[in-house]
Structure 1
Amino acid sequence: MRSTRHPRPPPGAPLALFVGMVLSGSAVFAQDPGPSGTPPAAPAPATGSAAPAPAPFREEEVTRCGDKQVGTAEGMLRPLGHGFYADGHRVRRGCTLILQRPLKNRPPVPFTPDSFKPLGCGFFRYASSIYWGLPLASEDPSREPNGQPAEVLTRLDLADAQTFEVDAECRPRDVRFFYLNHVSSPGLPAFVAVPRGDGQGYEELGCGFVRFEGRIYFGARSLDGVHVPSFSPVLGRLPYSECGGAMYGKDRAKVWWQHLLVRGAKARSFRVPKEDNPELRVACDGKRSFQQGTVDKKPNPLCKPARKPVVRKRK
């Protein structure tokens, strides 16, 4: 089984360029500044199968939302920078109300302007956390009381909020990691961390799961309630690009799909068939079948137990 630990760069090679070579197909990679603190020159375009960088994040600047105009007077939308606005005690991205989910299985609540610090390119610091300004696929759509759509945003749990930054090319990083952006590829972890320096305490487990400082993460999202010593990906140490829809992990009792707990699944009997299972979309727990962590109403035939051959007794 192949290990997914990152190899070390050749002596004298710029780490960021090496990161781009190791993770070909990654949408964004970052570089360390030069010794003087000035940004380095942009790297040469990658060749081969590497995907082009996505278009820069569009910060939605507005002049009014409904009957509220943008300004600094009482009752107006106060600009916070980078397309975010304070609407009284709430924060909007453009005209869209943005929400957070600070507690597990609780309704989302608005961000408050007091602890809100836009960083550019859609990222912002909120208290001791880092958020991305667009909702990720795993969050359900929400609405305001008046029926207008609202968006539940997702934390980058792995990020160090105090040192997190983005450069002019929208490449995110903190003192410990570069964050490779895969938000345009729903089948992959939204953000993948690559260690800066020796990556002490960081271990890739496979299929997008990593262990860092005694916790388990999928990409940059943490898994709640996991028994860390017994955790492992269901498919083992495969690179995340080879796991298809089977980004499952389990500990001694529970199962997760990406960072989400798969309710009702039992770790001991959970498996992913590899035969006749395109893109590894179907997983099984006994006779039940799952796709993307959700149980199928009608079990998939892949999960039906094989019929035992009938042995006729001689008379």
Structure 2
Amino acid sequence: MGSTKYPERRFGVCLAFLLGTLVTGGAARAQDASTPPPPAPEAASAAQAPAAAAPAPETEVTQCGDLQVGTGEGQLRPLGHGYYAEGKRVRRGCTLLLRRPVKNRAPEAFSPAAFRPLGCGFIRYAASVYWSQPLSDEDHVNEPNGQRADVLTKLDLADAETFEVDAECRPRDARFFYLNHAARSELPAFVAVPRGDGQGYEELGCGFVRYEGRVFFGTRLVEGAHAPSFTSVLGRLPYVECGSGMYGKDKAKVWWQQELLRGAKAKTFRIPKDENPEFRVSCDGRRSFQLASADKRPNLLCRVVKKPVKKRK
């Protein structure tokens, strides 16, 4: 199951789960989009799968508070697809949009000059691609007036220069199709499926992939990971079989999805298999974690059972 050519069994399981049909065949292969012949069944399935999660509507507005939409000075200037420039900032409808350029740094405003809406919730910004909806509670902050602002998610694996979405909201670039799971928090928000033979692309299990010397969870970079030694803790399982146990580790550190588990040591980290629905609880010695957070009190699943000492006769 460790092939770099996108294994048939794992690919079939993932697409069957998404589409409700049994898929056979190997890696998705796409033809030239300009004059495509009838695609092979597996390529057609891969191309259609991203449409499974409907994008949030991009609603046009005419006014936000005292600000009117228009082209005059001090007005909200339309950028298309329901986005507006407010001076040096960008809003989706009336909601301020921010980006996090460096992990654990304060989010920053998008510059309207580099902001290019692509439709279906995707945005090209300079040399990056973003998804227009927040994916977790941590992706919200408040403006000074108390109004909520959204921090958008960057698709680190996507090639911004060739990224596009078609009329049915299926995202892709020159290298990958992108399966959209953004509406399901238990899965990677987006999963890349190679359009060709997947050269340089290796699935590590549970949503983790290695590509061009870096590790990604879905399409998000696992920052600080040592790529050569990185593995999924549960092994090379398809991401749809991993439940919440999407833990990965390199030779020293441990992550849940793309979030570093501070204090966890790769050598002693484990996931109990018994009485652990969805593999949610993980252990490092007696210390326990659930998803990206450490428990204040150790979970009983992480207790160390001492072997009885034999009495000398």
Q: TM-score range by the shorter chain?
A: 0.7 to 0.9
User: Per-residue deviation at 1:37?
Assistant: 3.6
User: Per-residue deviation at 1:39?
Assistant: 10
| TM-score using structure 1 length | 0.87
User: Per-residue deviation at 1:105?
Assistant: 1.4
Query: 2:172 aligned with 1:173, yes or no?
Result: yes
Query: 2:50 aligned with 1:55, yes or no?
Result: no
User: Per-residue deviation at 1:146?
Assistant: 1.0
Partner of 2:24: none
Partner of 1:278: 277
Partner of 1:234: 233
Partner of 1:129: 128
Task: Determine if contact 1:4/1:238 at 8 Å carries over to the other structure.
Answer: no
User: Per-residue deviation at 1:206?
Assistant: 0.4
Q: 1:233 to 1:5 in 2, by over 3 A?
A: farther
State the SS of the aligned residue for 1:25.
helix
Task: Determine if contact 1:56/1:169 at 8 Å carries over to the other structure.
Answer: no
Gaps of 5+ in 1: 10-18
Which runs of structure 2 are paired with 1:23-38 in the superposition (5 Å)? 23-26=15-18, 32=30, 36-37=34-35
State the number of aligned residues.
299
Query: 2:222 aligned with 1:207, yes or no?
Result: no
Task: Determine if contact 1:287/1:299 at 8 Å carries over to the other structure.
Answer: yes
Instruction: Measure the CA separation in 2 of the matches of 1:40 and 1:144.
Output: 50
Instruction: Measure the CA separation in 2 of the matches of 1:226 and 1:218.
Output: 11
Partner of 1:153: 152
Q: 1:2 to 1:271 in 2, by over 3 A?
A: same
State the SS of the aligned residue for 1:23.
helix
User: Per-residue deviation at 1:147?
Assistant: 0.8
| TM-score using structure 2 length | 0.88
| Higher RCO (Cα < 8 Å, 6 or more apart) | 2
State the SS of the aligned residue for 2:16.
coil
User: 2:288 is matched by which residue type in structure 1?
Assistant: S
Percent identity, aligned pairs only, is 65
Task: Determine if contact 1:177/1:193 at 8 Å carries over to the other structure.
Answer: yes
User: Per-residue deviation at 1:240?
Assistant: 0.5
Task: Determine if contact 1:3/1:238 at 8 Å carries over to the other structure.
Answer: no
Instruction: Measure the CA separation in 2 of the matches of 1:40 and 1:64.
Output: 46
User: Per-residue deviation at 1:198?
Assistant: 1.1
Q: 1:38 to 1:58 in 2, by over 3 A?
A: farther
State the SS of the aligned residue for 2:278.
helix
Task: Determine if contact 1:26/1:180 at 8 Å carries over to the other structure.
Answer: no
Instruction: Measure the CA separation in 2 of the matches of 1:184 and 1:313.
Output: 61
User: 1:111 is matched by which residue type in structure 2?
Assistant: F
State the SS of the aligned residue for 1:139.
helix
Task: Determine if contact 2:50/2:178 at 8 Å carries over to the other structure.
Answer: no
State the SS of the aligned residue for 1:24.
helix
Instruction: Measure the CA separation in 1 of the matches of 2:13 and 2:287.
Output: 41
User: Per-residue deviation at 1:35?
Assistant: 6.6
User: Per-residue deviation at 1:53?
Assistant: 2.7
Q: 1:198 to 1:117 in 2, by over 3 A?
A: same
User: 2:294 is matched by which residue type in structure 1?
Assistant: V
Partner of 1:256: 255
Instruction: Measure the CA separation in 2 of the matches of 1:131 and 1:39.
Output: 31
Q: 1:194 to 1:75 in 2, by over 3 A?
A: same
Partner deviation per Cα, 1:149-194 (whole Å, 9 max, x = no partner): 0111110000000000000110000000000001111111000000
Instruction: Measure the CA separation in 2 of the matches of 1:83 and 1:75.
Output: 18
Q: 1:20 to 1:99 in 2, by over 3 A?
A: farther
Query: 2:127 aligned with 1:144, yes or no?
Result: no
Q: 1:235 to 1:36 in 2, by over 3 A?
A: closer
User: Per-residue deviation at 1:3?
Assistant: 6.2
Instruction: Measure the CA separation in 2 of the matches of 1:80 and 1:178.
Output: 26
Gaps of 5+ in 2: 20-27
Instruction: Measure the CA separation in 2 of the matches of 1:252 and 1:304.
Output: 24
Partner deviation per Cα, 1:253-305 (whole Å, 9 max, x = no partner): 11111011111111111100111111111000111110112101111100010
User: Per-residue deviation at 1:311?
Assistant: 3.0
User: 1:110 is matched by which residue type in structure 2?
Assistant: A
Partner of 1:12: none
Which of the pair is proportionally richer in helix? 2
